[in-house]
Structure 1
Amino acid sequence: MPRLFNRISGKHRRQALRSKMPAPERLLWQRLRAGQLGDKFRRQHGIGEYIVDFYCPGKRLVVEVDGDSHYQPGAGNYDAGRTAFLEACGCRVKRYTNQDVMQNIDGVLDDIRRTLAALPTRPAKIR
């Protein structure tokens, strides 16, 4: 079975994205990191061929921050296909705009908290 999470082929791309995070992603990361919401998040996490902005493995929650590129022609179809793939992998996807994050970070965090509370916790893997 092929590897689904953090494929080695995408390692350098994920590292580059982490080092060049836009301001809204940096702001949200400062509030998600280190379990501040009670659950661990990872940033720039690979799932299949996609790299998601933030991923909570314990709840299979994907959080995406949509910038201007998501409003270009054809981007809606791409995002819909991406969301369908992630949901088929068992993930729940939440999307916020750059403007949401920059102007209403507390509201975004409250929505993420409510979503986390509503999702079941995945059992830890036994090694």
Structure 2
Amino acid sequence: MYHKNEKVMNMFFGAKPAIFEKAKWLRENMTATEKILWNELKGNQILKLRFKPQHPIDIFIADFYCHKLKLVIEIDGGVHKEKSQKEYDIGRTVELAGFGIKVIRFQNEEVQLTLGEVVKRLKECCVNRANELEENRVNSSL
């Protein structure tokens, strides 16, 4: 059983106050594409899972985060096609993996043009992630 502060620390992975402030600003100023996906995620609509928008994790802010699955969803705009940003994204994904967090990425265009397919892929990813975490839990208890 978690002590409340342990759970909060685990959920945010030591994020500092400045990150929380920036995350709040980002929540209040979501991109149009983030708002489209948020309409599908909010209220536990995806497999009854709770996703949080613009969630602080250590020094990062995830576009969307499900703590139960340790799953980050990132929506990538045009800037993510630039070489330096691609390299940053790879490094960020590796750092998040160090916390046991999986990252799934969608392009802006995918969300805007094929939202149904994005939701379908996201549901599949959530089911696979839940199975993976359960398998890891069972194996670690052996």
Tell me the TM-score normalized by structure 2.
0.80
2:75 equivalent in structure 1: 65
Q: Which amino acid aligns with 1:12?
A: E
Point out the more displaced range, 86-95 or 112-121: 112-121
The equivalent position to 2:26 in structure 1, one of 12, 17, 23, is 17
Q: Which amino acid aligns with 1:77?
A: E
Between structures 1 and 2, the one with greater helix share:
2
Point out the more displaced range, 4-13 or 34-43: 4-13
Point out the more displaced range, 54-63 or 68-77: 68-77
1:49 aligns with 2:62: no
- The two structures, once aligned, show a CA RMSD in angstroms of 1.9
2:4 equivalent in structure 1: none
Shift of residue 48 of structure 1?
Answer: 1.1
Shift of residue 73 of structure 1?
Answer: 3.5
2:89 equivalent in structure 1: 79
1:33 aligns with 2:33: no
Equivalent-residue separation in structure 1 for 2:14 and 2:125 (angstroms):
22
How many residues are treated as equivalent by the alignment?
122
Equivalent-residue separation in structure 2 for 1:26 and 1:39 (angstroms):
18
Shift of residue 9 of structure 1?
Answer: 2.5
Shift of residue 5 of structure 1?
Answer: 5.0
Q: Which has the higher contact order (CA 8 A, sep 6+)?
A: 1
Secondary structure, counterpart of 1:39 in structure 2:
coil
Query: Identity of aligned pairs, percent?
Result: 30
Point out the more displaced range, 68-77 or 81-90: 68-77
Shift of residue 72 of structure 1?
Answer: 2.3
Higher Cα radius of gyration: 2
Structure 1 residue ranges without an equivalent (≥5):
none
Runs ≥4 residues deviating over 3 A: none
Tell me the TM-score normalized by structure 1.
0.89
Shift of residue 75 of structure 1?
Answer: 0.7
Equivalent-residue separation in structure 2 for 1:6 and 1:114 (angstroms):
29
Equivalent-residue separation in structure 2 for 1:99 and 1:5 (angstroms):
33
